[in-house]
Amino acid sequence: MSLPRSLRDLTLRYSALYLVLVAVTVVLGAGAIALWQEASRESLRVTGMVQEVEAMRGNLYRQMKELFDTTFLDDSNAQTQYTHYSGLIDDGLRRLAEHASGAEEQAAVRELKRTYRAIHTRTDAIVFGPIPPEGRVLQRIFDTDLEAGGLQAYEAAFLQVDRLFLLQQERLQARLSRLALTTPLLLLIPLLAACALLVLTRRFLAQAVVNPFSRLQAATRVIAAGDLTHRVPREGARELIELSDTINSMAYELQQSRAALLRAERQATLGALVPVVAHNIRNPLASIRATAQVIDDEYLHREVRDGLQGIITTTDRLERWTASLLSYLHPLEVLPQSGDTGSMLKGLLDLVQPQFDQRQVVLQRVVPPWLPPCRFDADLLEQALYALIINALEATPTGEVVEVSLQLRDARLEFLIRDRGPGLQWSVGLSGLGRAPMVPGRTTKRTGTGLGIPFALKVSEVHDGGLRYQVRPNGGTEALFWIPCP
Question: Per-residue pLDDT tens for 162-221?
Answer: 777 777 777 777 777 777 777 777 777 777 777 887 787 778 777 777 888 788 888 888
- The mean per-residue pLDDT over the stretch 387-413 comes to 90
pLDDT at 388: 92
Contact 173, 44 (CB under 8 A): no
Residue 394 clears pLDDT 50, i.e. is over it: yes
Report the SS3 class of residue 233: coil
What is the rounded CA–CA span in Å between residue 140 and residue 44?
41
Burial of 163 (0-12, 13-18, 19+ CB in 10 A): exposed
What is the rounded CA–CA span in Å between residue 388 and residue 372?
24
Contact 440, 328 (CB under 8 A): yes
Q: Which of 36, 55, 50 is nearest to 173 (CA)?
A: 36
What is the rounded CA–CA span in Å between residue 225 and residue 247?
14
Residue 138 clears pLDDT 60, i.e. is over it: no
For the whole model, what pTM was predicted?
0.40
- pLDDT bracket for residue 484 (50, 70, 90): very high
Pairing mode, strands 374-376 and 401-409: unpaired
What is the rounded CA–CA span in Å between residue 158 and residue 172?
21
What is the rounded CA–CA span in Å between residue 104 and residue 270?
114
Q: List, for residues 145-154, the tens digit of each pLDDT value.
A: 444 445 666 6
Contact 403, 366 (CB under 8 A): yes
Please name the residues in contact with 282: beta carbons below 8 A apart, sequence gap of 6 or more.
Answer: 319, 322
Task: Return the bridge partners of 229, or none.
Answer: none
Phi, psi for residue 409 in degrees, rounded to 5: -150, 130
Cα-only R_g, the chain: 59
Q: Which of 75, 89, 231, 238 is nearest to 158 (CA)?
A: 89
Q: List, for residues 273-318, the tens digit of each pLDDT value.
A: 666 666 667 778 777 877 877 777 777 777 877 777 778 877 776 7
Q: List, for residues 35-71, the tens digit of each pLDDT value.
A: 777 777 777 777 777 777 778 778 877 877 777 777 6
Most confident of 35-39, 100-104, 228-232, 262-266: 228-232
- The mean per-residue pLDDT over the stretch 433-454 comes to 52
Q: Which of 87, 77, 78, 146 is nearest to 115 (CA)?
A: 146
**The dihedral sign for the CA sequence 231, 237, 243, 245:** positive
What is the rounded CA–CA span in Å between residue 3 and residue 5?
7
Question: Cβ–Cβ contacts within 10 Å for residue 55, how many?
Answer: 15
pLDDT at 5: 66
What is the rounded CA–CA span in Å between residue 191 and residue 233?
37
User: SS3 for 25-71, per residue?
Assistant: HHHHHHHHHHHHHHHHHHHHHHHHHHHHHHHHHHHHHHHHHHHHHHH
pLDDT at 178: 74
- pLDDT bracket for residue 142 (50, 70, 90): very low
pLDDT at 473: 83
Q: Which of 296, 284, 289, 291 is nearest to 312 (CA)?
A: 289
- The mean per-residue pLDDT over the stretch 217-244 comes to 83
What is the rounded CA–CA span in Å between residue 101 and residue 411?
95
